[in-house]
Structures are given as C-alpha cells and as structure tokens.
Structure 1
C-alpha cells in the first residue's frame, strides 16, 4: 500500500489497494473488486447502497471490461446488498453467502431492529430508519462451499465471523495476509456522523446499532486478530495495513468489552454481554 491512488469517480471513492484488490466506497459502506483488471476472473465483494448501483456497475465495467464471475456477500445488511439484485441480473453472476445468512436473503427472516440506545452519535440515533427487512434473492443466491473455499477466488478462504449478523463472513488470503473483514471490525467510528464524514482512521468493533450478539462479535475479532493480517479492507472506513493494523486489531481483541461493547442498549446487559 505504499503507492495508493485515491480517485474521485462521481460520488464513488476508488482506491487501488493492491494490484488485484480495489476498494470502492459507496457513501457510507465499502465494496471490493478482487481480481486482475487485465486478465482472468474477478469477483465483487458486497454491492453497497442501492443508490450507488449504476455508478458501481459503470466503474466495474470501465475497470475490467467484463462482468464478475460471482458476487460474495459478507452479510446481508442494507448498506452491503443494496444493488445485489440488479447487479446479479445485469452481470448474470451468482451470489454466495454463508448458509446462516440465507434466511435474510431469501425473504424468510428480518434482521433484528437497530438499536439507537447504543449512543455514539447521529448515525446511531437515526438507525431505526435504516432498512432491516429481508430481501428475496430467490435462486440468485447460493450457500458458500462448506470447505471454506471462495468461488472463483482460489487463493482465498472465507471465515465465519458472526456477531454483527449470524452468517457474517470475512475473506482471507494467507499468501500476503490480505483480509476483507466486512463489518467484523471497521476502521471508523460508524455511530458518529462526523467520523463518517471525516473518515478518521480508528480501528473499532462492528457498527454497534446493528450488532445483536456481542459475545460472538468479540470471538470473531479475536479470531481475525490471531491471523495477524498485513492488510485489511473493512465494510466502513479506510483500508489499513502493517503495524497500524496488527497492533490496533490486537488491542481491540484484547480489550473488546471496553473498546467496542456499548455501555447500554437493547442487546447489551449491565456487564457488557448479551441479554438472555
């Protein structure tokens, strides 16, 4: 990440993180293109906000000149799947997600209500306005392979990192320590509108207003910290690498209850753990 190029493309921020990882911000949530722009298959990780779908499709086709072979979802929250139906149809690309996330992606189960009581700023206060209803991808969506492999990305594996949602996954490439973490942890204080606007780098736990299981969330962060990743792209905030990542993620894992778990909220008891 020594030679990063940060570009403005309409309202998309596009950053070449490595030769085959492109980070795209769709207002408040991030998307990844994984693959060589000039040859071979590539994969789309998450699809961002629905209002950004046209710009995202345009950017992808200008960059690659061909559709992705598949779409991988880290989870199904509205800001990560907004354009998935449209893009899956236009690209004729299958969608993959963890089996535990499929009920939320096939119209069977809604996500828990957002929790504005976690505090932290305007983004948390207005979180009850965020969509939490299931979408129905019908036969577009398929379960990820049970062996941890990632369709069309042979060098990567998926890791179950629940807490923020039951079937949340992260993607990891051991060869260079690259991690696509989704919302298992993020690099901005997402509860604060000011922090979201400024994009101040700060390694944090998952967005608190949409996290119903804090014990699982802690275990997921500890699992990822144990990998000692060298580069991470998260679902919100800036890419991070090197010591800033390793030390920051280790600190979060070691002090998760103090740094990430809200002092109060619908899904938090007085001890900072889930309500029974």
Structure 2
C-alpha cells in the first residue's frame, strides 16, 4: 500500500489503507474501521477476540472520537465475533449479519467443529479446541437489508460469499474497487502457526479447518475474482492491492482445487 502508516498499539497492528479505511490486526484475525475520521461517522467490520476489546475500543475512540454507527459481521466464527457482545453494549452499536448466519448468532445452531485432519500446521492441528458453539446476541443482532445495501455505508454493498460459513459475506465498494473479503479468501496460510507469525503474503482459500462446503467456497472466490478488485483486506493476512492482488486472486480462482482444497479432511469428501 502506497499510503500506509503502520504503528503498533498494544495487541493491535493498525494501518491506514485509505483515508477512510483502517485495517486492524488483532491477534489471529483482522478488523476494519470504515469511515473518514474527519467526518466522525464510521462502521466497525468484525470485532476480533474478546481479549482485544479494550485495545480496540481505545483505538477506535482515539481515531474517531465517537462510537460506530453499526457493527457489520462478515460471519460468526469465534475469532471474528469474540468481542461483538461486549463492544455492542459498550458502544451502543447495533450488529448486522446475513440472515443465514443468524442461527449461529442467536444460540440456535452450532458451527461444525474444527477439522484437524486437513493438515497444514499447528493452527489446523489444534482446531478442535477452537470455540464453535453458537452465541446468543439477543436483540443486538439484526439481519442485513435485502438487495446488498450496507447500513450506514451507502457507497458499499454486501455480497453473499458462502462456503466458509452459510451466511458469510464480503463487502465491496464499486467506486474504487475496494474489497473487504472476510474469510472468503485470505492472504496467509492460516493453518500454519509459522505463517501466521510471519504474515508472509500467500493467497489462500478460507481457513481449511473451519470450511465445511468447498464447492460454495470455490464459487465465492470466483465471484470475487470476477470483480477485479484493486484493493483487498481479508480476515487473515495483510492487505494487498494492484497487480499483486489481481494475479494472486486470479490464480487462486483458476486453480482453487489445487491451491485451496485439502487433499483430505472431514468436509473434503463432499467436494470431491
């Protein structure tokens, strides 16, 4: 990124991607602030783990001086919603997710457990201990509007990108072809602890240990590649842009079975 400004704040790595988009790496998952600090109004995309709530709140208030208008969830896995209830209560911000994700966010349905048999490293190996039970957000959670509009972000639209979870969404701004992809694809090999620590950029499918539908995941990556985004922020890994993004995402979409789908695993046989 040409305009990046990198700094460390406690458990957070904070990077200005554009004048109105801030990328926040919070331990194992990424968060986005969307909104121009000079105007004040903004939206939080995902919340990271509960353990980073205090640092995230401090950074957000320091940057914007006020609470977000809303919290938008790309999906409901533990590393993206761990702080959602606390932040919603503290910041008095409503939370929005895709209708198909609501059962996992209202205590009605658990996610499938992590699959250590996909291989790839320590992160995959310990995935059975990752939380996969539903959380109950009560009246904090709301369904995203039909048609793709995003509350309080009129220039953006949400795109249904299932596979990693039934109601997974990505966010896209057509005016400058900016993509917030969630875990539809990521830019690090999340199964490997060494890759997670180094943050070396590698275009990957969604985290394999938590992806139950590889056919949908494949179609979602193709859908995003067809947009030809100029800039992307993913749920894990570093932001990417320009030619690196175009080539990496196109290659992943064209060779998804070879590059993303594990050779074996609890949820792989259905895809094969």
CA distance in 1, matches of 2:257, 2:73: 27
Runs of 5+ unmatched residues, structure 1: none
Following TM superposition, by how much is the alpha carbon of 1:40 offset from its aligned partner in structure 2, in angstroms?
A: 4.2
Q: What SS is found at the alignment partner of 1:132?
A: coil
Shift of 1:38: 1.5
1:18 to 2:32 alignment: no
Deviations 1:158-190 (A, max 9, x none): 000000000000000000000000000000000
Distance in 2 between residues matched to 1:133 and 1:176, nearest whole Å = 37
Q: How does 1:70-219 map to 2 (within 5 A)?
A: 70-219=70-219
TM-score by length of 1: 0.97
2:259 aligned with 1:267, yes or no? no
Runs of 4+ in structure 1 off by over 4 angstroms are none
Q: Does the 8 A contact of 2:201 with 2:238 survive in 1?
A: yes
The aligned runs of 1:49-60 (5 Å cut-off) are: 49-60=49-60
Q: Is the 8 A contact 2:40 2:64 kept in 1?
A: no
RMSD of the alignment, in Å?
0.8
CA–CA separation in structure 2 for the residues paired with 1:4 and 1:38: 18
Question: What pairs up with 1:238-257 in 2 under 5 angstroms?
Answer: 238-257=238-257
Q: TM-score, normalised by structure 2?
A: 0.99
Give deviations 1:192-226, integer Å, cap 9, x for gaps.
00000000011110000000000000000000000
> Which whole-Å CA distance do the structure 1 matches of 2:27 and 2:40 have between them?
29
What CA distance in whole angstroms lies between the structure 1 residues aligned with 2:264 and 2:114? Answer: 13
Q: Could you report, residue by residue, the CA deviation over 1:211-261 in whole angstroms, capped at 9, with x for unpaired residues?
A: 000000000000000000000000000000001001110000000000000
CA deviations 1:107-142 (Å, max 9, x no partner) are 000000110000000000000010000000011001
Structure 2 gap segments, 5+ residues each: none
Aligned counterparts of 1:9 and 1:92: Cα–Cα separation in 2: 24
SS at match of 1:164: coil
